[in-house]
């Protein structure tokens, strides 16, 4: 409902949200076309609207800026919400509800787990020191959220050989007697369809009356899988296409994390977007009922009021060239 109200607000304000470049408006004024309703285009959704096309594009560009700074990403991690987490079942089972009946609890617990995972990656340096990361949260149709995380490692900890990869990623079934907890976790959360004809160490697991070997195992990290107890897929990557993958969905169901104002995009190092434009290329926002002459005059001469620590105000007149 909150998202519907926001969309309704933008829809009702469309007559006041027309936008065009100053240069184009000036040319229209010269041609004596002063009807603002016939010019430019409407601004459908601002870039601040979570999940909108401009929002996703801006975050995608931010991720590529981190790539320019830290070079190619090294690890691609997918974390999925587990409705069987004890923290969730403890709240819903006593009152006779299913986990999908309480999306608020699912979101809160998932957020806590995700923060713990990112903290382990940054502070405990499970894969080594990172130069940056990008995290995108998506929602499945069953209200279950999942996160994609790209890790950019510092030069010293970038993967160079196969042995470096095998230190952190495995696709093998652990020994049932020696690592019983890990064996059960892999059996529950890290099984998918076959991707290789090889069986590896010859160990098997049984799931739904099917005997499965290593070719059914999703790549995982032993330490993370044991600690958090959910489907957490860890892959090695060295391609920029993995960045595009994080932002491939503009819309994929409702943003249920918006219930609590949780961000669905996280990143480090921090990126500051600097607005700039070429001469006479600045965008002007105006109403359909405005007169083009008034809009152009407002762009040529605007009064800016700046606050000071002493409570006084300084008023300055800015020319068109100053605005450019």
Residue 253 has pLDDT above 70, yes or no: no
Tell me what pLDDT residue 314 has. 36
What pLDDT shows up at residue 37?
61
Task: Give the whole-number percent of the chain exceeding pLDDT 70.
Answer: 76
**150-178: per-residue pLDDT in tens?**
999 999 999 888 888 899 998 888 888 88
- Whether the CB-CB separation of 79 and 293 falls below 8 Å is answered with no
Cα separation values, 259 from 110, 320, 321, Å: 13, 43, 44
DSSP state of 259: G
Other C-beta atoms within 10 Å of 25: how many? Answer: 23
Mean pLDDT throughout 263-269?
A: 87
pLDDT digits (tens, 9 = 90+) for 281-321: 777 777 777 777 777 777 776 534 334 344 433 333 333 33
Q: If residue 159 lies in a helix (H) or strand (E), which one and from where to where?
A: none
Per-residue pLDDT, averaged over 123-139, amounts to 91
Structure confidence at residue 302 (pLDDT):
56
Per DSSP, 143 falls in state S
Task: Enumerate residues 6+ apart whose C-beta is below 8 A from 308.
Answer: 314
pLDDT, position 246: 86
Contacts of 216 (CB under 8 A, 6+ apart): 191, 192, 193, 194
pLDDT of residue 188: 84
Residues 6+ apart with CB under 8 A from 200: 171, 172, 173, 213, 214, 215
Domains of the chain, by residue range, sit at: 2-44+275-323, 53-170+219-259
Average pLDDT for 178-186: 87
User: Roughly how many angstroms between the first and final C-alpha of the chain, as a whole number?
Assistant: 41
Q: Provide the sign of the torsion angle of the four alpha carbons 133, 137, 138, 143, taken in this order.
A: positive
- HSE-CB at 33 with a 13 A cutoff on CA atoms is 11
Predicted confidence at residue 36, as pLDDT, reads 63
DSSP β-bridge partners for residue 211: 206
> How high is the pLDDT of residue 304?
41
DSSP per residue over 82-98, as a string?
-TT-HHHHHHHGGGT--
**Global confidence as pTM:** 0.75
- pLDDT value of residue 311: 40
Whether pLDDT at 43 is above 90? no
Per-residue CA distances from 150 to 28, 115, 119, 238 (Å): 47, 15, 14, 10
């Amino acid at each position: 409902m909150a998202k519907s109200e926001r969309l309704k607000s933008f829809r009702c304000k469309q007559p006041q949200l027309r936008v065009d470049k100053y240069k184009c408006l000036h040319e229209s004024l010269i041609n004596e076309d002063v009807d603002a309703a016939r010019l430019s285009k409407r601004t459908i959704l601002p870039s601040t609207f979570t999940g909108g096309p401009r929002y996703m594009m801006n975050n995608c560009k931010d991720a590529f800026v981190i790539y320019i700074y830290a070079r190619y990403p090294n690890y691609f991690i997918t974390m999925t919400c587990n409705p069987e987490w004890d923290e969730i079942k403890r709240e819903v089972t006593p009152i006779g509800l299913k986990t999908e009946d309480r999306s608020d609890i699912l979101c809160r617990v998932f957020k806590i787990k995700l923060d713990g995972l990112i903290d382990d990656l940054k502070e405990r340096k499970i894969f080594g020191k990172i130069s940056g990361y990008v995290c995108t949260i998506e929602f499945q149709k069953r209200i279950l959220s999942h996160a994609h995380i790209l890790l950019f490692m510092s030069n010293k900890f970038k993967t160079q050989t196969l042995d470096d990869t095998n230190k952190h990623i495995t696709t093998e079934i652990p020994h049932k007697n020696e690592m019983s907890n890990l064996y059960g976790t892999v059996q529950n959360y890290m099984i998918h369809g076959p991707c290789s004809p090889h069986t590896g160490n010859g160990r098997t697991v049984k799931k739904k009356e099917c005997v499965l070997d290593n070719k059914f195992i999703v790549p995982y990290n032993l330490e993370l899988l044991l600690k958090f107890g959910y489907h957490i897929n860890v892959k090695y990557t060295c391609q920029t296409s993995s960045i595009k993958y994080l932002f491939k969905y503009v819309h994929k169901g409702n943003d249920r994390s918006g219930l609590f104002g949780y961000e669905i995009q996280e990143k480090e190092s921090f990126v500051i977007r600097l607005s700039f434009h070429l001469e006479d290329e600045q965008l002007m926002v105006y109403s359909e009922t405005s007169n083009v002459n008034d809009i152009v005059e407002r762009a040529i001469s605007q009064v800016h009021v700046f606050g000071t620590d002493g409570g006084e105000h300084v008023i300055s007149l800015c020319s068109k060239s100053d605005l450019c």
